[in-house]
């Protein structure tokens, strides 16, 4: 809706393009909810694999930082008739938000890859191939998300809104891809493996050992 307003409905009225549309503020709130859900989901996966609260608490604190900054941004801009120029004084706040998001994505991807790699060493060959594929997808997702956030930070204050709009879709797609990847992983192995092996959130070491034993 924000893109439609900028490119179509207000295209012949350039004087209106300097104002921040209400749809953009609503998009910031919706994107924040999506990001919190996705990052919280992956934080729970880290806890389930590591059985440690240190890194999950760290990633959750970064997620909380994002929530606070987003709410402050929306409330600050909603109090008056905000313009695009009003984002410039908020640059430190936005930089902190994007830096926290990038650190969260990279930490999540690296931690999941580390614990999956450790469990891969305990599995037999057939299961280890599946775990290797999960590690690859995890790293690819983390790199894509962190790259888009970094580009948003670099492009501010010029065309950062374009990257911001793309980000929300990437977060939701990464979450759905993580859930739907179980179908592709099943197709990689002729033996039907337990759902808990293909779902990282339920992939404890003991379950992976049982699965690898069944495939041999």
Q: Tens digits of per-residue pLDDT, 55-101?
A: 999 999 999 998 999 999 888 888 877 777 788 888 888 898 889 99
Instruction: Please report, to the nearest 10 degrees, the dihedral formed by the alpha carbons of residues 90, 91, 96, 98 taken in order.
Output: 110
Q: What percent of the chain has pLDDT over 70?
A: 74
Residue 50 has pLDDT above 70, yes or no: yes
CB contact set of 64 (below 8 Å; sequence gap of 6+): none
Q: Tens digits of per-residue pLDDT, 130-176?
A: 777 788 888 888 888 888 888 888 888 777 877 887 887 888 888 88
The more confidently predicted of residues 132 and 123 is 132
Predicted local confidence at residue 65, as pLDDT: 92
Predicted local confidence at residue 56, as pLDDT: 95
pTM of the model: 0.73
Instruction: Please report, to the nearest 10 degrees, the dihedral formed by the alpha carbons of residues 145, 17, 83, 94 taken in order.
Output: 10
How far apart CA 181 and CA 33 sit, in angstroms, is 23
Predicted local confidence at residue 211, as pLDDT: 39
Q: What percent of the chain has pLDDT over 90?
A: 18
Predicted local confidence at residue 82, as pLDDT: 76
Exposed/middle/buried for 171, CB within 10 Å: 0-12, 13-18, 19+?
buried
**What is the average pLDDT across 188-211?**
46
Contact 60, 76 (CB under 8 A): no
Residue 83 φ/ψ, nearest 5 degrees: -120, 170
Contact 148, 170 (CB under 8 A): yes
Closest to 200 measured CA to CA, from 126, 125, 109: 109
Residue 31 φ/ψ, nearest 5 degrees: -65, -40
Residue 190 has pLDDT above 60, yes or no: no
CB contact set of 84 (below 8 Å; sequence gap of 6+): 17, 18, 19, 20, 157
Residue 116 has pLDDT above 50, yes or no: yes
**What is the average pLDDT across 29-33?**
90
Predicted local confidence at residue 60, as pLDDT: 95
Return the minimum-mean-pLDDT range out of 3-12, 18-27, 46-55, 100-109: 3-12
């Amino acid at each position: 809706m924000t893109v439609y307003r900028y490119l179509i409905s207000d295209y012949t009225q350039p004087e209106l393009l300097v104002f921040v549309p209400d749809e953009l503020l609503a998009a910031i709130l919706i994107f924040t909810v999506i990001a919190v859900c996705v990052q919280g989901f992956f934080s729970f996966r880290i806890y389930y694999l590591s059985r440690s609260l240190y890194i999950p608490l760290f990633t959750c604190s970064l997620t909380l930082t994002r929530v606070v900054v987003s709410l402050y941004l929306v409330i600050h801009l909603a109090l008056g008739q905000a313009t695009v120029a009003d984002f410039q004084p908020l640059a430190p706040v936005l930089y902190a938000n994007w830096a926290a998001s990038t650190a969260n994505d990279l930490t999540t991807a690296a931690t999941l890859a580390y614990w999956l790699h450790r469990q891969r060493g305990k599995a037999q060959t057939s299961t280890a191939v599946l775990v290797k594929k999960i590690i690859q997808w995890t790293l690819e997702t983390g790199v894509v998300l962190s790259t888009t956030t970094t580009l948003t930070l670099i492009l501010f204050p010029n065309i950062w809104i374009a990257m911001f709009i793309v980000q929300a879709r990437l977060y939701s797609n990464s979450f759905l891809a993580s859930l739907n990847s179980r179908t592709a992983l099943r197709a990689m192995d002729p033996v039907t493996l337990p759902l808990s092996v293909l779902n990282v959130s339920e992939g404890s070491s003991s379950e992976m050992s049982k699965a690898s034993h069944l495939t041999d």
